[in-house]
Amino acid sequence: MTPSIVSIVPYEKPFESVRRAIELSNGFANLPRGGKVFIKPNIVFWTRAVAFPKWGMITTSRVMEDTVAMLTDYGITDITIGEGTVVMDPKDTQTQRHAYQSLGYDTLKKKYGVNTVNILERPFRKIDLGDDVTLKFNVDALDSDFIVDLPVLKTHNQTVVSLGIKNLKGLIDIPSRKKCHSADPIRNLHFRVARLADRLPPVFTLIDGIYSLERGPAFDGHVRRSNLLVASADILAVDKVGSTLLGIDPARVPHLAFAAENHHRSIDLSEIRVVGEPIEKVASPHQYDFEWGENKRGELLPLPLASSGIEGISYPKYDLSLCTYCSFLNGLILSSIRAAWKGSPWEDIEVLTGKMMTPTPGRKKTILLGKCMSKLNKNHPDINEVIFIKGCPPKIPDIIEALHRSGIQVDPSVFEQYDRLPGAFMRRYEGKPEFDEQFFNILD
């Protein structure tokens, strides 16, 4: 086959760098004159409560505006930006609105006439992706003539990387997102994510690597200033190059391996022509996973908790079946447990998450987090005392009550102010000029 072109361009100047990345990759070759274009940024999380480190986590407004300006230069006037940001309350429509306003998208409306939509408020259409995989996709994206995919250069603690293909998960409805986190050992998260681009209009991908993220996808990862743009009209090719730039062999990324197999393509870079910067010159290894370990009693905990001496609780590591909503709560619960530790072992507790875990025989108390886990293990014979935290996702008061019942006296304020937690991570970047909030502003 003819090699796919992937451009790697250092970010140097507004407009010029994005223009060069697009032109070198010939990324707009299939852009129809006068067509409808849908832009999918990555706004994986937002809070209205505090400023938080958006670098490496959210598509920069700088890259967004430069892309919109390029589209208008090509004569495109029908442009829609759409995202479905994770919110804990399904009725919350204000957080997405606030994100768009804060990122300057209202200014884009005035300057370029773009539209913005909250994907979770729009209709969806069921799409058969083959091999017994059906998901519901946003109709605005499906009915467009061309999609511009603007992911961030980041790793991901479940899918290894979150680049062009993974960013498209934000186009599907909430039940479909939960379905992706299946307990099926074959048709799992990797299997389903690999197919997300297969039935969409032509997709051009521009990976925003002005900032990159290690141990993503959220604000608790480690941000780097990488100053890279990676672009291609071939979404698998650009993801393979993006993964390599993160120091991860694409063959180690299951959803990329599945996608290559599905399309009878190589998982290596042999069918790709890289233009611009050489990969070896700008690649930088990024870790993707959080480490778990055993404490002195052989109980499983995140390594920082195991190393700090916490005993009397086992919290097995999340698996692929843990969906985004329980995943966010998972981090919150672990933070509250760490803060509640006073030096005396708890009463042999085990916390189970996701859709696949089964209890360890002999534990005195077993906490089942979420509707899926509660349903799976409600009558399991290896449970002595069960403590349910039902709900999809569980409600915070129920989480606090369950932890208190187990003997873990967590501070309710940790949960009640959960939307302020991201602000604490800003301290990592204080006084470092390379972490500039101006990348997320658009000037009138």
Structural domains of the chain in order of their starting residue, each with its CATH number = 4-288 (3.40.50.11440), 292-422 (3.40.50)
CA dihedral 334, 339, 344, 348 (to 10 degrees): -20
CA 248/CA 145 separation, integer angstroms: 33
Residue 313 confidence (pLDDT) = 98
Question: Which CB contacts under 8 angstroms, 24+ apart, belong to 432-439?
Answer: 434/225, 435/53, 435/55, 435/211, 435/223, 435/225, 437/51, 437/54, 439/55, 439/60, 439/61, 439/62, 439/210, 439/211
pLDDT score recorded for residue 89: 84
C-alpha to C-alpha distance for 364 and 52, rounded to whole angstroms = 39
Helices (H), 151-284: 164-167, 174-180, 189-193, 235-245, 254-262, 279-282
Neighbours of 153 (CB within 10 A): 27
Nearest to 126 by CA among 195, 176, 190: 176
Only one residue has tokens 């032509």, namely: 202
Q: What pLDDT is stored for residue 104 in this prediction?
A: 98
For residue 130, count other CB atoms closer than 10 A to its CB.
11
C-beta of residue 146 within 8 angstroms of C-beta of residue 161 = no
The pLDDT, as a whole number, for residue 86 is 87
Does the predicted model carry a pTM greater than 0.85?
yes
Strand partners, 243: none
- The H or E element spanning position 353 is none
Predicted confidence at residue 136, as pLDDT, reads 98
Which pLDDT does position 261 carry in this prediction?
98
Could you list the mean pLDDT of each consecutive 10-residue stretch along the chain, which spans 444 residues? 95 97 97 96 96 97 98 97 90 95 97 97 98 97 98 98 98 97 96 98 98 96 98 98 98 98 98 98 97 96 96 98 92 95 97 98 97 97 98 95 98 90 93 96 88
Please name which of 140, 114, 113, 137 lies closest in space to residue 125, comparing C-alpha atoms. Answer: 137
Distance CA 66, CA 401 (A): 49
Continuous H helices in 150-286 = 164-167, 174-180, 189-193, 235-245, 254-262, 279-282
How many Å separate Cα 17 from the centre of its chain? 25
| CB neighbours of residue 296 within 10 Å | 10
* 221-222-227 Cα angle (round to 5): 120
Helix (H) or strand (E) holding 142: helix 139-142
